[in-house]
């Protein structure tokens, strides 16, 4: 519990710093005026789009798991939904532990398999977002001034996720060598620890099995593209209500930069990094005077409705027979090593 408290405090400090950077020039009196003038009917199609993208986000995970163990959508959907909620609710992206722990069904499907599939998921998500954001920033630099940190963030993300893809492929290609290296490295400190982590590494590498499986990889890539493009449509639809004047292409850019921002481990609900990256993304296309008024109201609504969606759907998913509240609580408060060493029994 002490570690959890420390993580909360650290995450809140990180989030508060980024929130200050995003809000230091905002006139909140004009933000309230903009909120009152908003066309709130857009929330109906906005949440409709959110529902469809939520389905694609959960459904694609099944294609990553299938080469290891075919899991029915009726089990994947509630578990994925609770996992998405946990990522939003917990600090420093600790909620990433929840999905692999809940989906585990030893011996055929271990928690480490879940970690492997999520590594593939994150690399493909990151590559898509980094490529789109890099292209958006490059185009925006032709007609407006782009903050240096926005360009740098896109460049770093592109480098990180390209490296991640290379590591995934190389690890899958040299599976036995990677596992042996893990055993030797940690076995230097403790043979028992080395054996345990090598066992975990085997499962993680097995989670990469979708990479050479085109029958599963192509639907996963298609669902990934659909998921992120629907997120961009949601950004565009919500922008109509605030008269932001965003095109679909600009909405894709906003979505990708915000997506990169919330990958940074920070406070619960992505508070701070969401606002900072949304402000930087909108600043590429919206005049500063508009951004400090309607833009601030738009970002506040965008963030609030996004968090509300994952909170409500996550709480409802907790009622599913496929989800154990005890397991959710354990996965939310334990370390990776503790969970990996004591995977749930079938």
Residue ranges covered by each domain of the chain: 2-341
**3-state secondary structure string, 68-128?**
CCCCCHHHHHHHHHHHHHHHHHCHHHHHHHHHHHHHCECCCECHHHHHHHHHHHHHHHHHH
158 pLDDT higher than 50:
yes
More reliable by pLDDT, 134 or 55: 55
pLDDT tens-place string over residues 247-293: 999 999 999 999 999 998 888 889 999 999 999 999 899 988 888 88
Q: Which long-range contacts (CB under 8 A, 24 or more apart) does 37-40 make?
A: 38/241, 38/242, 38/297, 38/301, 39/240, 39/241, 40/241
220 pLDDT higher than 50:
yes
Instruction: Determine contact, residues 236/277, Cβ cutoff 8 Å.
Output: no
Instruction: Determine contact, residues 318/328, Cβ cutoff 8 Å.
Output: yes
Q: At 105, give phi and psi (nearest 5°).
A: -145, 70
The mean pLDDT value for 290-316 works out to 93
End-to-end CA distance of the chain: 27
Which three-class secondary structure state does DSSP give residue 154? Answer: helix
pLDDT tens-place string over residues 17-69: 888 878 776 777 788 888 999 999 999 999 999 999 999 999 999 999 999 99
Residue from 289, 295, 288, 292 nearest 246 by CA: 295
DSSP 217-244: HHHHHHHHHHHHHHHHHHHHHHHHHTT-
10 pLDDT higher than 60:
yes
pLDDT interval class at 14 (50, 70, 90)? confident
């Amino acid at each position: 519990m002490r570690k959890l408290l420390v993580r909360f405090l650290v995450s809140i400090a990180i989030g508060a710093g980024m929130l200050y950077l995003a809000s230091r020039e905002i006139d909140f009196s004009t933000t309230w005026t903009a909120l009152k003038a908003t066309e709130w009917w857009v929330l109906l199609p906005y949440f409709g789009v959110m529902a469809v993208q939520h389905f694609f986000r959960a459904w694609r995970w099944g294609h990553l798991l299938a080469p290891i163990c075919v899991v029915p959508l009726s089990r994947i959907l509630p578990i994925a939904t609770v996992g998405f909620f946990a990522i939003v609710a917990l600090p420093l992206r600790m909620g990433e532990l929840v999905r692999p722990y809940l989906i585990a069904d030893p011996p055929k499907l271990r928690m480490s398999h879940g970690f492997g599939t999520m590594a593939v998921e994150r690399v493909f998500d990151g590559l898509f977002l980094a490529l789109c954001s890099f292209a958006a920033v490059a185009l925006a630099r032709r007609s407006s001034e782009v903050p240096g940190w926005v360009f740098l963030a896109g460049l770093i993300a592109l480098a990180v996720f390209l490296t991640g893809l290379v590591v995934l492929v190389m690890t899958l290609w040299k599976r036995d060598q990677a596992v042996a290296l893990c055993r030797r490295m940690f076995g230097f400190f403790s043979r028992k620890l080395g054996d345990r982590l090598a066992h975990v590494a085997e499962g993680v590498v097995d989670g990469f099995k979708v990479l050479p499986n085109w029958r599963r990889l192509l639907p996963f890539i298609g669902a990934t593209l659909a998921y992120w493009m629907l997120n961009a449509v949601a950004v565009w639809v919500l922008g109509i209500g605030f008269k932001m004047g965003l095109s679909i292409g600009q909405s894709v850019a906003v979505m990708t930069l915000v997506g990169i921002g919330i990958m940074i481990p920070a406070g619960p609900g992505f508070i701070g990094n969401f606002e900072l990256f949304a402000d930087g993304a909108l600043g590429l296309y919206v005049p500063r005077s508009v951004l400090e008024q309607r833009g601030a109201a738009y970002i506040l609504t965008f963030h609030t409705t996004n968090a509300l969606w994952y909170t409500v759907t996550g709480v409802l998913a907790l009622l599913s027979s496929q989800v154990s509240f005890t397991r959710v609580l354990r996965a939310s408060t334990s370390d990776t090593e503790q969970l990996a060493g004591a995977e749930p029994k079938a």
